[in-house]
């Protein structure tokens, strides 16, 4: 069969010119036929990219790029810079195989090719080495294998396209991963990520390899470590990794999981633009080369709240959520000094609430007047270069931070506003980091690096428990500190079937003068071509949120003696490829927690914190905890327009306080079930358009019940939590919640552009979910408030 190479052109129609001179009628008929055939042909697009050694970053010339299942075979090879262009690729779902002598072949499956946007792939290949005389057996990796070569268990790669396709995702990577085994959302109005019973605050967020604050709108406002929805547009994200336990040694300052997000490069060959308008927001993105023929490129995205745009026509007391965000990446390759990139993300949010009229008062929150603004940012310069033939250096310098300004007043019985609370919290992080990845032998890969973080903070929190009294400082601090981290990890190919990952991570937090050394080890064994088992252990630690350390009690910062909380992760993994597109994964795990911050004389702990803005409890590091469970995943990868995924997680999450009483954690839902099924159809005769549907059922154990001190609540006419009469907090649960969501989209591919109509609905059946406890001012009783929130998002996007 013939391989169609790079920039292949069809032959001309010169013979028709002579026919024209002989017979005008025949020519006219031919032109009509040609015009009709051209209109009926499937639209085409270009796939471009770069292939390189995954460890040294050296470009791989002569690598073969083949469009799988094409007839005749459509393919090309990379040039001396490792670059390739594959033209004349039909729109729709396509599979690409990349191979090079001495390297493991790599497949990219079900790429969605459209006319409005070229596809850019950056593929790192791993060496495939066997000892002399050894028979080399090639094992086909799972399609969602993590990008990080050091990952062994509890990890998977996800694509941006999945955030758009999976029901309930709402183009939000944080909501997407709640489809995965072991992950639960604390509430429908939150994109928090509770992994294996842990608090969302235990998660590490990284962008372009740099630790950043939670990149979510309204972050930490309702639940610590969570927000309402992502501040990262799907227009700028690339394929990324998500870890749920026993993660590699390069990840530190996290106890539950890791979200390692990559930003894609802008198109370096042509300019492209997209515009999207929907219920949740209006989005504009543009990308392209700075100069044609130059590899330098830019990518920019801006988004603004739709509700903020139409707020002038809405009621004054509507409580509008106003938000905006921007993100960008600039790629600046050089000929001799490696590649530089400049990236950034920023978000700004605001919400104002006004008190209701007196006759509408039901709970004390109806009397409140508040003004809140929140921001976050992260920006950095990354540098990547090859040191020598077997090593590469990756470095970055970045500045990130977040802040909040909040002022709240409350109407007294005479309808006069009285000060209730205020907060002005601002912190930043200056980061310098670098790592070396290298081959230390034919079967030994090592990655060693460091992070230096300079932390700055300016914290001022005031609050009062009684209407009419003067708010007092619970936190007031302005200063700086440092966080140092160093790690080294090796991947050793002990045999063709046995692989060892071993390393360590160290962390020193200067504020509390504590050092932690954390071993990490993982062993994987390939039983045969379809089945593999693995075991991993890791010790992980994390500093608390900075305001926790500066809580005042009689003028003293009482929590500066806290130790780093530590979590030992043990994971056993079994993976089986039941067929080419069907994978079964089973992971039992156990986590042992030490140095858990707990209150000296109550059930309070940072493991259960919902919002820490006004958290003011003195703590000691004497608590312990444990999480035990098992995750099941049965996933059929998208193939021939059909896919599904079923996940089941059964777990138990408990902690023991300073009083030696074992309790459930707030996030101990006990079980999470997910069922996702989707189907795609190529529409019209020429198959240029795509109709996609996706349905998701998410069934979760109910939220845990925090006990209420009813007597004090009646006295204060407000909810006061506390354990009385031997009732333990979190012993009981609210009813389990079945959440049904769906997504329907229709993509049209025209010669010069493509467009997409999408309808996404979260909680389509309006399932009732517990929201909060309230004191009813009219009946003088303690009640529970439930919500039936349904989040619809109808949007239209055009790409050209």
Give the 3-state DSSP-derived string for 558-576, with helices as H, strands as E and coil as C.
Answer: CCCCCCCEEEEEEEEEEEE
Q: Which of 734, 751, 754, 718 is nearest to 366 (CA)?
A: 718
What's the angle, vertex CA 596, arms to CA 593 and CA 601, rounded to 5? 135
The SS3 of residue 791 is strand
User: Is-contact 107 96, C-beta < 8 A?
Assistant: yes
Tokens of 225: 């470590």
Element counts in the chain: helices (H) and strands (E): 7, 43
Nearby residues of 411 by Cβ (< 8 Å), 6 or more positions away:
355, 367, 368, 369, 417, 418
Distance CA(477)–CA(481), nearest Å, equals 12
CA separation for the pair 99, 108 (Å, rounded): 12
Angstrom distance (rounded) from CA 536 to CA 514: 26
Q: Strands (DSSP E) along 354-471, which ranges?
A: 368-388, 391-411, 417-441, 444-463
Question: 241: exposed, middle or buried (C-beta count within 10 Å: 0-12, 13-18, 19+)?
Answer: buried
Structure tokens at 465: 């428990």
Distance from C-alpha of 53 to C-alpha of 728, rounded to nearest angstrom:
56
Instruction: Please report where in the chains the tokens 């949740």 appear, as a residue.
Output: 280
Distance CA 67, CA 75 (A): 6
In the prediction, which pLDDT does 388 show? 85
Question: Of 517, 682, 568, whose CA–CA distance to 110 is shortest?
Answer: 682
Q: Which helix (H) or strand (E) holds 199?
A: none
Residues of the chain with pLDDT under 70: 1-41, 129-142, 312-319, 467-468, 685-686
**Please, is 63 exposed, middle or buried when counting C-beta atoms within 10 Å of its C-beta (0-12, 13-18, 19+)?**
buried
Please write the tens of the pLDDT for every residue from 142-153. Answer: 678 999 999 999
H-state helical runs in 78-179 = 160-165, 173-176
Q: Find the helix or strand (DSSP H, E) in which 193 lies.
A: none
What pLDDT, on the 0 to 100 scale, is given for residue 317? 54
Dihedral sign (CA 17, 22, 27, 30): negative
Q: What does pTM read for this prediction?
A: 0.91
Indicate the average pLDDT of the chain.
90
| Sign, Cα dihedral of 217, 474, 623, 701 | negative
């Amino acid at each position: 069969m013939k391989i169609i190479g790079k920039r292949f052109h069809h032959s001309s129609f010169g013979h028709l010119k002579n026919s024209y001179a002989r017979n005008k009628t025949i020519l006219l008929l031919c032109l009509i036929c040609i015009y009709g055939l051209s209109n009926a042909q499937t639209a085409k697009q270009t796939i471009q990219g770069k292939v390189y050694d995954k460890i040294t970053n050296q470009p791989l010339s002569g690598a073969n790029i083949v469009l799988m299942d094409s007839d005749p075979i459509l393919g090309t090879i990379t040039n001396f810079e490792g670059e390739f262009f594959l033209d004349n690729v039909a729109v729709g779902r396509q599979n690409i195989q990349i191979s090079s002598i001495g390297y493991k072949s790599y497949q990219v499956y079900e790429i969605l090719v459209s006319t409005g946007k070229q596809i850019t792939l950056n593929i790192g290949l791993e060496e495939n080495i066997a000892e002399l005389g050894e028979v080399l057996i090639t094992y086909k990796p799972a399609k969602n294998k993590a990008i990080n070569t050091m990952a062994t268990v509890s990890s998977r790669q996800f694509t941006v396209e999945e955030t758009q396709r999976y029901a309930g995702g709402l183009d939000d990577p944080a909501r997407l991963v709640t489809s995965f085994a072991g992950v639960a959302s604390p509430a429908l109005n939150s994109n928090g990520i509770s992994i294996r019973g842990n608090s969302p605050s235990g998660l590490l967020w990284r962008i372009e390899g740099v630790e950043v604050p939670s990149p979510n709108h309204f972050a930490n406002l309702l639940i610590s470590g969570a927000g309402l929805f992502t501040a990262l547009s799907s227009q700028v994200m690339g394929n990324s990794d998500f870890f749920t336990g026993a993660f590699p040694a390069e990840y530190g300052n996290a106890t539950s999981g890791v979200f390692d997000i990559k930003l894609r490069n802008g198109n370096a060959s042509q300019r492209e633009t997209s515009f999207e308008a929907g219920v949740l927001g209006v989005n504009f993105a543009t990308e392209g080369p700075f100069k044609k023929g130059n590899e330098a490129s830019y990518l920019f995205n801006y988004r603004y709240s739709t509700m903020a745009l139409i707020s002038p026509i809405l009621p004054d007391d509507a409580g509008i959520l106003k938000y905006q965000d921007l993100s960008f990446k600039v790629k600046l390759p050089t000929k001799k000094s490696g590649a530089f990139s400049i990236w950034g993300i920023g978000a700004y949010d605001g919400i104002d609430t006004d008190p209701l009229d007196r006759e509408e008062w039901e709970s004390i929150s109806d009397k409140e007047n508040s003004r809140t603004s929140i921001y976050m940012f992260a920006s950095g310069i990354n540098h990547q270069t090859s040191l020598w033939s077997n090593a590469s250096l990756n470095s970055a310098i970045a500045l990130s931070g977040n802040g909040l300004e909040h002022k709240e007043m409350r109407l007294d019985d005479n309808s006069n506003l009285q000060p209730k609370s205020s907060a002005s919290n601002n912190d930043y992080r200056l980061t310098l980091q670098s790592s070396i990845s290298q081959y230390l032998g034919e079967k030994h890969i090592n990655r060693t690096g460091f992070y230096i973080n300079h932390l700055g903070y300016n914290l001022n929190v005031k609050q009062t428990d009684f209407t009419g009294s003067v708010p007092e400082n619970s936190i007031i601090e302005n200063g700086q500190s440092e966080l140092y981290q160093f790690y080294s990890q090796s991947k050793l190919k002990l045999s063709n079937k046995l692989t060892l990952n071993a390393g360590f991570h160290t962390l020193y937090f200067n504020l509390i003068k504590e050092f932690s050394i954390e071993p990490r080890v993982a062993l994987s064994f390939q039983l045969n071509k379809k089945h593999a088992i693995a075991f991993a252990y890791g010790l992980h630690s994390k500093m608390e949120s900075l305001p926790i350390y500066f809580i005042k009690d009689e003028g003293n910062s009482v929590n500066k003696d806290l130790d780093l909380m530590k979590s030992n992760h043990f994971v056993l993994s079994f993976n089986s490829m039941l067929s080419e597109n069907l994978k079964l994964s089973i992971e039992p795990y156990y986590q042992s927690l030490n140095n858990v911050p707990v209150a000296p004389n109550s059930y309070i702990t940072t493991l259960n914190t919902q919002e820490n803005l006004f958290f003011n409890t003195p703590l000691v590091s004497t608590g312990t905890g444990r999480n035990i469970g098992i995750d099941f995943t049965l996933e059929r990868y998208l193939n021939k327009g059909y896919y599904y995924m079923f996940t089941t997680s059964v777990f138990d999450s408990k902690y023991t306080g300073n009083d030696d009483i074992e309790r459930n954690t707030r996030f101990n839902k006990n079980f999470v079930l997910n069922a996702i099924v989707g189907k795609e159809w190529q529409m019209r005769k020429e198959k240029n358009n795509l109709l996609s549907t996706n349905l998701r059922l998410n069934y979760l154990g109910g939220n845990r019940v925090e006990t209420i001190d009813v007597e004090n609540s009646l006295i204060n006419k407000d909810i006061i939590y506390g354990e009385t009469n031997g009732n333990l907090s979190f012993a009981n649960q609210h009813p389990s919640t079945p959440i049904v969501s769906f997504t329907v989209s229709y993509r049209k591919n025209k010669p010069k552009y493509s467009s997409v109509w999408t309808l996404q609905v979260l909680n389509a059946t309006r399932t009732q979910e517990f929201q909060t406890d309230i004191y009813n001012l009219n009946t003088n009783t303690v009640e529970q408030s439930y919500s039936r929130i349904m989040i619809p998002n109808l949007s239209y996007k055009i790409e050209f």
